[in-house]
Structure 1
Amino acid sequence: MYISPNEALDGQSLRSQPYNKNKKTGKHMRNLRIDVRVSEEEKIELVRLAAGQEMSLSDYLRSVLLGKEIIVRRENHAPAALIYELSRIGNNLNQLARHANSGSSITPDDLARIWHSLELLWAASQ
């Protein structure tokens, strides 16, 4: 079915068409199609962007065109062991800072623990 731009703007032809409902869910089905011409490079980029959001191309374009918020997913390429060691180092540094701010001195054992954590982190990152 072709809908002219004027018909689409006034919505009359859209309202006169029966709206199909999914028999199982009772929700309205998407039964209309919009064709958009893009270059090969543009399509590759759109598919890449949709895949980066773990969305189908249709869902991605619908979200963008309707102004829906798309949460940007940041890929985390760091191995779990590296993240774990970073967390441990942060914890140790926080303990040392609290210890030092309370007026207590930092012992060589405290520094050795930190150094050992840094060595583990370095080994995990290689």
Structure 2
Amino acid sequence: MNPNIAPIRKSMDWTYRTRGGNVAGDSTGGQPPGDGDLKERVEKLEAVLPDIQLRLVRVESKLDALGANTTTKAEMAAVGIMIAELKGTVSETMLAQTKWYIGTAAVLAGLAFAAARLAS
């Protein structure tokens, strides 16, 4: 290994920093790494454990509520099909109404011309 890189790697290596300079393969004397403040760290974790558990319960309940209110892919696909059918129905209805409008206008125009011819 390049001697210029070794100090940089040691400063970035988690095992080197937490084990007091012992890199992987070196003995820690049978003691856990970082045993000087390990008890304090464990006590702090145990002190906040009830709060962590409470927050986890809140997160789980929120996820359950979200799961009950979300739609599945199948439901979304069904909605897409219903919208496509509705578009087809609307276009068919508009076409039928337009035909009736033009037909009625033609009949009324014919009646108007017939009435004008009879009147003259």
Same fold per TM (> 0.5)?
no
Give the TM-score of the pair, scaled to structure 2: 0.27
When you count helix as a share of all residues, which structure comes out higher?
2
Structure label with greater radius of gyration = 2
Give the TM-score of the pair, scaled to structure 1: 0.26
Pick 1 or 2: higher relative contact order, CA cutoff 8 A, min separation 6: 1
